[in-house]
């Protein structure tokens, strides 16, 4: 089968560390173009990733009939004209998150993607991570057929009262970030719009109900607590700080539903209690392991790799050395998109799906401006 010709537009750190390596190792892709306004960046990616062509002009990419697909990895502040250009040129799109930072832009993106019919994937990659897929499978199993384990303490037995919310879901997402790692442009927009759409998307993965209200306490820049309410009584809370340390795992997700607890620890392991037939602990490997002599996987193995990376940074004097990271789903999301281009179907995070967490966070920004007052979310916000 012929390879799909692809272009990468916006060739900064995200593209160089993740998207371009994934494209180069994917057997169905041919890297035709790298496009960036920075000529020095273009020279660097040209040498390292060997695309067929380099350009600072996106119109050249749009005019190339051999290029079927475009991955847009620019900052979200300049994506709308690129999305319109490539969609109207018939190119399938992979767009980094968030898709937009205003409702007006999001509506325009939804419209052009619907009208052109291009296959569009939005980079909420964590929903494709192996640990998240494992946790979702366990939760869906319990949600469809809840069975209480025989060891569960049942004080009142058949006489216990039924409580409102028994079948709703509670999700806590804790994010430990370190703003020293941010690029300068990120300081102007803040983590609430730049990063929290990831976690609003995860909340919606675990809670299959309609979001109806959101409130934000704190600052859009760095420290905030976002609470999302759903129409079935479920709640999700995102607790995020940018003043933490990468010496400790970044992400912890806790899901509680109808007598079960499912914990996703930095995408390195999933712990499950109260779901009959599921193992308590399932571990996952880091991506591109630089320390194969460390036998442990899961969160304990991650701790040891963090310490090993810190020693390397101190010994070499290079503080850009970071720990290996878990599989966050980037390759799987790319592969899902390509499969839809080849075989039809909708990508797992198409623009319709991505519009929901984007709308949640845009309303969360309004709540922050109102000092934490709850703000309603309407289906018209994301349709």
Q: Which of 235, 82, 231 is nearest to 173 (CA)?
A: 235
Q: Assess contact for 91 and 57: CB atoms under 8 A.
A: no
Q: Which of 93, 253, 107 is nearest to 169 (CA)?
A: 253
The overall average pLDDT reported for the chain is 95
Q: Is the pLDDT reported for residue 353 higher than 90?
A: yes
Q: Which domains does the chain have, with CATH numbers?
A: 4-118 (3.40.50.720), 130-151+161-284+358-381 (3.30.360.10)
What is the Cα–Cα distance from 300 to 334, expressed in whole angstroms?
29
pLDDT tens sequence across 222-270: 999 999 999 999 999 999 999 999 999 999 999 999 999 999 999 999 9
Q: Is the pLDDT reported for residue 115 higher than 90?
A: yes
Q: Which of 137, 42, 121 is nearest to 351 (CA)?
A: 121
Q: Assess contact for 218 and 191: CB atoms under 8 A.
A: no
Q: Is the pLDDT reported for residue 297 higher than 70?
A: yes
Name the residue with tokens 């990271």.
Answer: 325
Q: Assess contact for 97 and 197: CB atoms under 8 A.
A: yes
DSSP string computed for 52-82: SEEES-HHHHHT-TTEEEEEE-S-GGGHHHH
Q: Which segments of the chain does DSSP mark as H helices, in order? A: 13-14, 20-25, 39-49, 58-62, 79-88, 103-116, 130-144, 184-189, 191-194, 196-206, 298-316, 330-343, 351-369
Structure tokens, 352: 């319709």
pLDDT of residue 121: 98
pLDDT of residue 183: 83
CA separation (Å) from 342 to 41, 128, 338? Answer: 31, 19, 6
Radius of gyration, alpha carbons of the chain: 22
pLDDT tens sequence across 187-207: 877 899 889 999 999 999 999
pLDDT tens sequence across 330-351: 999 999 999 999 999 999 999 9
Band of pLDDT at residue 30, cut at 50, 70 and 90: very high
Q: Is the pLDDT reported for residue 1 higher than 70?
A: no
What is the Cα–Cα distance from 62 to 78, expressed in whole angstroms?
16
What is the Cα–Cα distance from 244 to 330, expressed in whole angstroms?
24
Residues with Cβ within 8 Å of 181's Cβ and at least 6 positions away in sequence, in order, are 246
What is the Cα–Cα distance from 265 to 174, expressed in whole angstroms?
10
pLDDT tens sequence across 167-178: 999 999 999 999
pLDDT tens sequence across 144-192: 999 999 999 999 999 999 898 889 999 999 999 999 998 887 887 789 9
Structure tokens, 272: 């499950």
Band of pLDDT at residue 20, cut at 50, 70 and 90: very high
């Amino acid at each position: 089968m012929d390879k799909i010709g692809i272009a990468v537009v916006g060739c900064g750190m995200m593209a160089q560390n993740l998207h371009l390596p994934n494209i180069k190792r994917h057997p169905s892709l041919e890297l035709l173009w790298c496009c960036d306004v920075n000529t020095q960046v273009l020279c660097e990616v040209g040498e390292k990733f060997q695309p067929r062509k380099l350009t600072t002009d996106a119109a050249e990419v749009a005019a190339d009939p051999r290029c079927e697909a475009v991955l847009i990895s620019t900052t979200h502040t300049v994506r709308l004209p690129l999305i319109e250009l490539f969609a109207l040129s018939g190119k399938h799109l992979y767009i980094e998150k968030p898709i937009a930072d205003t409702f007006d832009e999001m509506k325009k993106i939804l419209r052009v993607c619907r009208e052109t019919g291009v296959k569009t994937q939005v980079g909420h990659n964590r929903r494709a991570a192996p640990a998240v897929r494992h946790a979702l499978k366990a939760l869906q199993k319990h949600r469809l057929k809840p069975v209480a384990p025989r060891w569960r303490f049942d004080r009142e037995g058949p006489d216990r009262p039924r409580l409102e919310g028994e079948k709703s879901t509670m999700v806590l997402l804790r994010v430990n970030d370190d703003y020293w790692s941010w690029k300068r442009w990120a300081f102007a927009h803040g983590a609430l719009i730049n990063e929290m759409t990831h976690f609003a998307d995860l909340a919606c993965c675990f809670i299959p109900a309609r979001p109806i209200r959101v409130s934000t306490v704190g600052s859009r820049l760095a420290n905030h607590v976002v609470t999302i309410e759903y129409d079935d009584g479920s709640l999700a809370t995102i607790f995020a700080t940018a003043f933490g340390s990468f010496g400790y795992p970044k992400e912890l997700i806790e899901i509680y539903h109808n007598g079960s607890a499912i914990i996703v620890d930095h995408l390195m392991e999933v712990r499950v209690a109260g779901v009959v037939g599921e193992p308590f602990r399932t571990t996952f490997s880091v991506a591109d392991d630089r320390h194969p002599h460390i036998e442990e996987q899961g969160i304990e193995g991650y701790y040891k790799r963090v310490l090993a990376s810190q020693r390397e940074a101190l010994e070499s004097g290079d503080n850009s050395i970071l720990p290996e990271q878990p599989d966050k789903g980037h390759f799987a999301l790319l592969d899902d998109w390509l499969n839809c281009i080849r075989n039809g179907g909708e990508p797992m995070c198409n623009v319709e799906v991505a519009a929901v967490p984007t709308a949640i966070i845009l309303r969360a920004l309004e709540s922050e401006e109102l000092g934490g007052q709850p703000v309603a979310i309407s289906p018209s916000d994301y349709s």
